[in-house]
Amino acid sequence: MPLAAHDASVPVVVDEAKCIAAKGCTVCVDVCPLDVLAIDLVRGSAFMKYDECWYCMPCEVDCPTGAVKVNIPYLLR
Amino acid sequence: MSDPETQTIEADVLVIGGGTGGPMAAIRAKEANPNLRVVLLEKANVKRSGAISMGMDGLNNAVIPGYATPEQYVKEITIANDGIVHQKALLAYANGSYDMIRYLDKLDVRFEKDGAGDYAVRKVHHMGTYVLPMPEGHHVKKVLYRQLRRLRIGVINRYMATRLLRGADGRIGGAIGVNTRTSEFLVIRARTVVLACGAAGRLGLPASGYLFGTYENAANCGDGHAMAYHAGAALANLECYQINPLIKDYNGPSCAYVTGPFGGYTANNKGNRFIECDYWSGQMMLEFWRELESGNGPVFLNMRHLAPETIGEIETILHSNERPSRGRFHARRGTDYRHRMVEMHISEIGFCAGHSASGVWADERAQTTVPGLYAVGDMASVPHNYMLGAFVNGAIAGQEAARFCAEVDLPMPDAEMLAAEQARVLAPTRRADGLTPFEVEYKTRRLVNDYLAPPKITAKMRIAQERFAEIREDLDSLVARDPHELMRALEVQSILDCADMAAAASLYRTESRWGFYHFRVDYPETDNDDWFCHSLLCKDAEGRMAHRKRAVDSYVVPVDATEMTAYQKLRIAPAQEAA
Amino acid sequence: MTMTVFDADPDELGVLAERARSADPGVRRVAMLALAETAEPEAATLLIGGLADDAAEVRAAAAQALEEHAGPQVIGALAAALEDPAPGVREAAAVALADRHEPDAAPLLIARATRGTPFARAAAFRALRELAAPAAGPVALAALTDASPTVRREAVAVLGWLRDPDTHAGLMRSAGDPEAEVRRAAMTALVSVRSGVPAVAALLSGLRDSDWQVREEAAATLARNRLAEAETALIRAMDDPVWQVQLKAAAALGRLRAVAALPMLAIALASEVSNLRREAAAALGEIADPAALPALHKVAADPDPEVRKTALWAIGRCGGGGAGH
């Protein structure tokens, strides 16, 4: 069975201008209970890699620069 | 993926799950004996894992001298659970409740206090007083983490335990784990294991269809229940589901415990209260469901009558603790508590002793039926545990494990079993195509909603079992393209195990009990002659799902028949009263 | 496999020390946050150094991370950071001080509470409240006339937790503070004065306050301390224009078993607000006088189940049959 790629809007948005992943920060990636965030090494910024969000907000609250915003996933908005 | 390496480490006390009860078990084991090698294994990161990831807004079951006695508490929980409780475990919790509050207080967990610094207990229940608000309760995880650091407890993050190990004599021997980011294998040989993996909260599918929009932290998917089952431990009363009132679509708690003391309440579409039941129980959920299904639905949380200043205080609490994104959810829909009621619903089904009663059998010493294995928190069978129960029983388990591991040696794991488990775990990584964990999970949970959610109908549950058997064959087609997907592929296997257990346990108990939780349409009456007992489910010697009854131990706090019905008598409909 | 044991790893600490000296403020900020994880005293020293960083975001991160460290140097540094030019740093320091419970911190906080900006003094009092240190009494008393209402409010809260009879007179004076938020805090704190004519007088003035939340809080404190001297005033409060005040007054009258309150409570049973009807029924149940039965029977068929259940319970208590317990 070949696999199809599913596209979906992701709830967690990272402001690249504020994100300091390039300086070695991994706070949001560390705290996510569902491990859905990752660092884009090329852009030097965190991003939501998997659409598996519990909209619990540690990523946003613990981010030292206020770069992360958790939106409510579209399906339940 | 190439085959990852396997590492082996040893521990005296291995705690699986770093949410609430788990860290407390590790802390108390280490405090009991600082020389012990205590290891805390966590699928996510201990800093922000578990049901209280963002803290908690209050204690719902605080037994504080002057407000409630342990005996009173035991009695009320016995009544709320239609008598099917292991009272000794309830009493052990109740006796430890106040000491735990003071211990947490000392660690800088903030509870609401009055103007003189005394605990500001609020009355919510009709009979007892157990609610202690925590308006600044968003710090709980930080405090736990600080104590883990002070005691220098070994923490292993981002490892998911997949199976428990047992020694040749049947004693617990440790666990196998896999890294969720690298798929590295880890064998932890241990003298004792404390399971603290949380609820099986990813069982039913939320009405929104969003897989991770669950009532419980979506990481809590029943791994602990499945591991305990495969290790031969008994699980109790699984047919007593967790179903909770919640905010429609958002799936967050309704927080009657927070808004109640401020004057907020659950209302029907006429704006009137309708819940007769005094206890958080299946009976209450039955009333809730009936109102939803009646012409009076939907159901709402009403705060419109409160003063703007009061609403402001409520918002501060609700939007900074436990599930803070609710404020954002309401804002987007234009729901302001001052003017509009909040639409509510009931949650998908799950197993969770935090609000209900089912889980891995655990006695007053947090012991399961496997020697050396303990279970605490939402996944253990002590009813209505909430956060404080997870702490108290975690502490009990930590102390018991510390004691037990001093008496026993380290069992030798079975090499054949280790190899077989490695093959099972890695199988999805060996396929280039097949079924994704997402679709298998979606289908399993959709079927749970279709066939297992109450009202429970025998014919439907049998269909569910047929469909689950088909999905079990599909597991051989699961494909995982990276370690993260492998974690989801392993989780879906736990979810399927839990779905099978939910169906089997519900079919076994041929009566109705616990209100909506086990409302069996084919057996609508409660049958105390045949079913005033626990139902235990476990894996038999042939690897099949087996059931047995366990008599309810004689009560340590007697509850007479009048008391059992006292609160029901208060539930008299206005029409009857007027007649 | 990485096991965090929070142990002294000299290499790791060395790397962090180096990063804390980086020319890049972003790197320094991340280093500060990482130093919260290390239990070693050297980490605290580095963080205290971070409080003097040129970049405000580095100082804020240092203040935040210092919450995870202990000792007089840490408290002293955080107390000084309460006057940092950047608001973010000041707030982080205030949170770090308030979230901990370090009895040794009292002398430093007391010193901080007496001088400096209103923000710093209020934050010092906020942290002192939890410590309930007797030495804080005189300082808090003196702060009751501070120009800043926030400082006065925090000082009042400190006095409530202290329960020191020598400070009671001051607390009672605060019941007449020009600011409602201070008067409300005084009503809350007066719960620590268990009895006595002056305390009752202060609470009675609260019951007549222009601000409804002060009146509500006064009634709640009277209920908690069961001050029978307030019975007449509480009965009068059943006429309050705000139902929340009536509700707290009803609860207090129930606790006082005030038979004289029966007529007013019976009127409250007819309120449009179901919360008040329920509280009035509960109070009548507490009072347990059969004279309340006719009024209670009227709400035994109330459309609100909570009112109905409470009324049935109260009827039982008044000897009128039904399911009392």
- The answer to whether position B484 is within a domain reads yes
Which residues in A lie closer than 8 A to residue C24 (C-beta atoms)? 23
Query: Any CB–CB contact under 8 A between B549 and chain A?
Result: no
pTM greater than the 0.80 cutoff: yes
How many angstroms separate the CA of residue B469 from the nearest CA in chain A? 21
Q: Which domains does chain C have, with CATH numbers?
A: 8-100 (1.25.10.10), 229-325 (1.25.10.10)
Element containing residue B161 per DSSP (H, E): strand B159-166
Preferred mutation among A16, A23, A30 to probe C, highest tally of C CBs within 10 A: A23
Rounded to 5 degrees, φ, ψ at B58 are 170, 165
Instruction: Summarize the confidence of residues C22-40 as an average pLDDT.
Output: 92
> What is residue B128's predicted lDDT score, i.e. its pLDDT?
67
Query: Any CB–CB contact under 8 A between B318 and chain A?
Result: no
- Given B213, B324, B487, which is nearest A73 (Cβ)? B213
Q: How far is CA B168 from the centre of its chain?
A: 31
Cβ count near B419 (within 10 Å): 10
- The answer to whether position B410 is within a domain reads no
Chain A residues with at least one Cβ partner in C under 8 Å: 20, 22-25, 27, 64-65
Report, as ranges of residue numbers, the positions in chain A whose pLDDT lies below 70.
none
Q: Which long-range CB contacts under 8 A does C10-16 form with residues at least 24 apart?
A: C12/C38, C13/C38, C13/C40, C13/C42, C13/C43, C16/C43, C16/C46
Q: Do C30 and A25 touch (CB under 8 A)?
A: yes
> What is residue C135's predicted lDDT score, i.e. its pLDDT?
95
Contacts of B59 (CB under 8 A, 6+ apart): B101, B111, B130, B131, B132, B133, B134, B386, B387, B388
Quick one: tokens of B398?
Answer: 């930590």
- Given A22, A24, A64, which is nearest C61 (Cβ)? A64
Query: Any CB–CB contact under 8 A between B52 and chain A?
Result: no
If you measure CA to CA, which chain C residue comes closest to B114?
Answer: C188
Q: Which of B346, B361, B380 is the last residue of a domain?
A: B346
Rounded to 5 degrees, φ, ψ at B424 are -65, -50
Predicted confidence (pLDDT) per residue in B60-107, tens digit: 899 999 999 999 999 999 999 999 999 999 999 999 999 999 999 999
Looking at residue B278, what DSSP letter applies? S
CA C103/CA C117 separation, integer angstroms? 23
Model confidence at B125, pLDDT cuts 50, 70, 90, reads: very low
- Given C1, C309, C323, which is nearest B184 (Cβ)? C1
Predicted confidence (pLDDT) per residue in B501-554, tens digit: 999 999 999 999 999 999 999 999 999 999 999 999 999 999 999 999 999 999
Contacts of C191 (CB under 8 A, 6+ apart): B114, B115, B116, C160, C221, C224, C225
Q: Under a CB-based contact definition with an 8 Å cutoff, are residues B355 and B256 in contact?
A: no
- The answer to whether position B454 is within a domain reads yes
Model confidence at B124, pLDDT cuts 50, 70, 90, reads: low
If you measure CA to CA, which chain C residue comes closest to A66?
Answer: C57
- The answer to whether position B480 is within a domain reads yes
> What is residue B135's predicted lDDT score, i.e. its pLDDT?
87
The CATH number of whichever domain residue B499 belongs to comes to 1.20.58.100
Share of chain C above pLDDT 90, in %: 86
CA B94/CA B98 separation, integer angstroms? 8
> What is residue C316's predicted lDDT score, i.e. its pLDDT?
94
Q: Which A residues, 5 through 44, put their C-beta within 8 Å of a C-beta on chain B?
A: 6, 30-35
CA C128/CA C114 separation, integer angstroms? 12
What does the DSSP assignment read for B374-443? EE-GGGBS-TT-HHHHHHHHHHHHHHHHHHHHTT---PPP-HHHHHHHHHHHHGGGG-SSSB-HHHHHHH
Quick one: tokens of B526?
Answer: 């409660």
How many angstroms separate the CA of residue B50 from the nearest CA in chain A? 7
Instruction: Summarize the confidence of residues B438-467 as an average pLDDT.
Output: 98
- Please, what is the average pLDDT of chain C? 93
- Given A35, A57, A76, which is nearest B324 (Cβ)? A57
Model confidence at B256, pLDDT cuts 50, 70, 90, reads: confident
Q: Do A1 and B435 touch (CB under 8 A)?
A: yes
Contacts of B100 (CB under 8 A, 6+ apart): B388, B391, B392, B395
How many angstroms separate the CA of residue C4 from the nearest CA in chain B? 5
Preferred mutation among C2, C4, C216 to probe B, highest tally of B CBs within 10 A: C4
CA B251/CA B249 separation, integer angstroms? 5
CA C281/CA C277 separation, integer angstroms? 6
Q: Under a CB-based contact definition with an 8 Å cutoff, are residues B136 and C129 in contact?
A: no
- The answer to whether position B520 is within a domain reads yes
Which residues in C lie closer than 8 A to residue A25 (C-beta atoms)? 26, 29-30, 33
- Given A6, A35, A56, which is nearest B54 (Cβ)? A56
Instruction: Using DSSP, state whether B369 is helix, strand or coil.
Output: coil
Q: Do A75 and B219 touch (CB under 8 A)?
A: no
Closest to B472 (Cα-Cα) out of B490, B496, B455: B496
Query: Any CB–CB contact under 8 A between A75 and chain B?
Result: yes
ipTM score above 0.90: yes
Rounded to 5 degrees, φ, ψ at B177 are -135, 160
Burial of B216 (0-12, 13-18, 19+ CB in 10 A): buried
CA C238/CA C260 separation, integer angstroms? 12
How many angstroms separate the CA of residue C304 from the nearest CA in chain B? 6
Number of domains in chain B: 2
Query: Any CB–CB contact under 8 A between C270 and chain B?
Result: no
Preferred mutation among B43, B46, B158, B212 to probe A, highest tally of A CBs within 10 A: B212
CA C39/CA B143 separation, integer angstroms? 14
Q: Under a CB-based contact definition with an 8 Å cutoff, are residues C280 and C271 in contact?
A: yes
- The answer to whether position B79 is within a domain reads no
Model confidence at B572, pLDDT cuts 50, 70, 90, reads: very low
Element containing residue B23 per DSSP (H, E): helix B21-32
Query: Any CB–CB contact under 8 A between B528 and chain A?
Result: no
Closest to C188 (Cα-Cα) out of C198, C178, C201, C174: C174
Quick one: tokens of B134?
Answer: 């925590």
> What is residue C1's predicted lDDT score, i.e. its pLDDT?
64
- Residue B302's domain comprises 245-346
Predicted confidence (pLDDT) per residue in B201-211, tens digit: 999 999 999 99
How many angstroms separate the CA of residue B491 from the nearest CA in chain A? 12
Task: Output Rg (C-alpha) for chain B, integer angstroms.
Answer: 23
Q: Under a CB-based contact definition with an 8 Å cutoff, are residues C254 and C280 in contact?
A: no
Q: Estimate the crossing angle of helix C197-207 against helix C212-225, to 10 degrees.
A: 140
Q: Which domains does chain A have, with CATH numbers?
A: 12-76 (3.30.70.20)
Element containing residue C140 per DSSP (H, E): helix C136-143
What does the DSSP assignment read for C62-87? HHHHHTT--SHHHHHHHHHHTT-SSH
Which residues in B lie closer than 8 A to residue C154 (C-beta atoms)? none
Q: Which C residues, 292 through 311, put their C-beta within 8 Å of a C-beta on chain B?
A: 300-306, 308-310
CA C137/CA A72 separation, integer angstroms? 48
Q: Which long-range CB contacts under 8 A does A67-70 form with residues at least 24 apart?
A: A67/A14, A67/A15, A67/A16, A67/A17, A67/A18, A67/A19, A67/A20, A68/A12, A68/A13, A68/A14, A68/A15, A68/A19, A68/A28, A69/A12, A69/A13, A69/A14, A69/A15, A70/A11, A70/A12, A70/B325, A70/B328
Looking at residue A2, what DSSP letter applies? P
**Lowest-confidence region among B224-233, B506-515, C219-228:** C219-228
> What is residue B566's predicted lDDT score, i.e. its pLDDT?
60
Q: For Cα atoms C305, C309, C314, give the angle at the middle one, nearest 5 degrees.
A: 145
Q: Do B570 and C188 touch (CB under 8 A)?
A: no
Alpha-carbon dihedral of residues C70, C71, C73, C76, nearest 10 degrees?
A: 80
CA C248/CA B263 separation, integer angstroms? 12
Task: Output Rg (C-alpha) for chain C, integer angstroms.
Answer: 27
Predicted confidence (pLDDT) per residue in B140-187, tens digit: 999 999 999 999 999 999 999 999 999 999 999 999 999 999 999 999
The CATH number of whichever domain residue B303 belongs to comes to 3.90.700.10
Q: Which of B298, B317, B346 is the last residue of a domain?
A: B346
Burial of C29 (0-12, 13-18, 19+ CB in 10 A): buried
- Please, what is the average pLDDT of chain B? 93
Cβ count near B360 (within 10 Å): 30
Closest to B198 (Cα-Cα) out of B343, B389, B11, B369: B389
Q: Do B54 and A58 touch (CB under 8 A)?
A: yes
Predicted confidence (pLDDT) per residue in C251-262, tens digit: 999 999 999 999
Query: Any CB–CB contact under 8 A between A50 and chain B?
Result: yes
If you measure CA to CA, which chain B residue comes closest to C186?
Answer: B115
> What is residue B3's predicted lDDT score, i.e. its pLDDT?
62
- Given A33, A52, A72, which is nearest B332 (Cβ)? A72
Exposure b/e, A36-62, CB count within 10 A at least 16 = b = bbbbeeeeebbbbbbbbbbbbbbbbbb
Instruction: Using DSSP, state whether B542 is helix, strand or coil.
Output: coil
- The answer to whether position B440 is within a domain reads yes
One-letter amino acid at B387 equals: M
Contacts of C163 (CB under 8 A, 6+ apart): B116, B117, C132, C192
- The answer to whether position B383 is within a domain reads no
Preferred mutation among C2, C16, C29 to probe A, highest tally of A CBs within 10 A: C29
Predicted confidence (pLDDT) per residue in C89-140, tens digit: 999 999 999 988 888 899 999 999 999 999 999 999 999 999 999 999 999 9
Does the pLDDT value for residue B571 go beyond 70? no
Share of chain B above pLDDT 90, in %: 85
How many angstroms separate the CA of residue A31 from the nearest CA in chain B? 5
> What is residue B277's predicted lDDT score, i.e. its pLDDT?
83
Which residues in B lie closer than 8 A to residue C301 (C-beta atoms)? 574, 577-578
Which residues in B lie closer than 8 A to residue A1 (C-beta atoms)? 433-435, 477
